[in-house]
Amino acid sequence: MAAAAHAAEHGQRVGIVDDNAALGGQIWRGQSEPAASKWAERLSSSGVTVLCGRVFQQPEPCTLLAEGEDILHELRYEKLILATGACERFLPFPGWTLPNVMGAGGLQAMVKSGLPIQGKRVVVAGTGPLLLAVAAYLHKRGAEIPIICEQASWSRLARFSMALLGHPGKIVQGLQLKRELASARFSANSWPVAASGEGRVEKVTISQTGKIETFSCDYLACGFHLVPNIDLPLLLGCQVQNGSVRVDDFQRTTVTHVFCAGEPTGIGGVELSLVEGEIAGLTAAGRIAEASSFFGRRGKLRRFARSLDRTFRLRPELNSLPAPETIVCRCEDVRYSRLREHKSWRAAKLQTRCGMGPCQGRICGPAAQFLFKWNPDSVRPPIFPVRVESMAGLSAPANLELTTGGRE
Q: What is the pLDDT of residues 104-123, one digit of tens each?
A: 999 999 998 899 999 999 99
Residues in the chain: 408
Residue closest to 217 by CA, chosen among 199, 193, 195: 195
Residue 255: phi and psi, rounded to 5, are -100, 130
Please indicate, yes or no, whether the overall pTM of this predicted structure exceeds 0.95: no
- Residues 223 and 88 sit within 8 Å (Cβ to Cβ): yes
- Residues 397 and 59 sit within 8 Å (Cβ to Cβ): yes
- Those residues whose C-beta lies under 8 Å from the C-beta of residue 43, and which sit 6 or more positions away, are 1, 4, 5, 8, 16, 23, 50
Q: What is the pLDDT of residue 30?
A: 67
Q: What is the pLDDT of residue 59?
A: 92
- Those residues whose C-beta lies under 8 Å from the C-beta of residue 113, and which sit 6 or more positions away, are none
Q: What is the pLDDT of residue 385?
A: 87
* Radius of gyration over every alpha carbon of the chain, rounded to an integer in angstroms: 22
Residue closest to 134 by CA, chosen among 219, 65, 38, 41: 219
In angstroms, rounded to a whole number, what is the distance separating the alpha carbons of residues 123 and 193?
13
CATH T-level fold of 90-224: FAD/NAD(P)-binding domain (3.50.50)
In angstroms, rounded to a whole number, what is the distance separating the alpha carbons of residues 231 and 101?
26
Q: What is the pLDDT of residue 403?
A: 43
Residue closest to 205 by CA, chosen among 68, 127, 197, 51: 197
Q: Quick check: do 2-87+227-310 and 90-224 share a fold?
A: yes
In angstroms, rounded to a whole number, what is the distance separating the alpha carbons of residues 243 and 235?
14
Q: What is the pLDDT of residue 163?
A: 84
- Residues 85 and 262 sit within 8 Å (Cβ to Cβ): yes
**12, amino acid identity:** Q
In DSSP notation, 355-372 reads T-STTTTTTHHHHHHHHH
Residue closest to 221 by CA, chosen among 114, 283, 130, 307: 130
162: DSSP letter: H
Query: In which element (H, E) is residue 86 found?
Result: strand 86-88
Spell out the domain ranges in the chain: 2-87+227-310, 90-224, 323-372
The answer to whether domain 2-87+227-310 has CATH 3.30.1490.100 is: no
In angstroms, rounded to a whole number, what is the distance separating the alpha carbons of residues 117 and 271?
29
Sheet order of strands, 54-60 included = 54-60, 63-67, 72-76
Decide: residue 380, CB within 10 A, 0-12 exposed, 13-18 middle, 19+ buried: exposed
Regions of the chain with pLDDT less than 70: 30, 393-408
Residue closest to 207 by CA, chosen among 162, 257, 149: 149
- Those residues whose C-beta lies under 8 Å from the C-beta of residue 312, and which sit 6 or more positions away, are 127, 128, 129, 151, 152, 156, 225
Q: What is the pLDDT of residue 397?
A: 43
In angstroms, rounded to a whole number, what is the distance separating the alpha carbons of residues 312 and 160?
9
Q: What is the pLDDT of residue 292?
A: 98
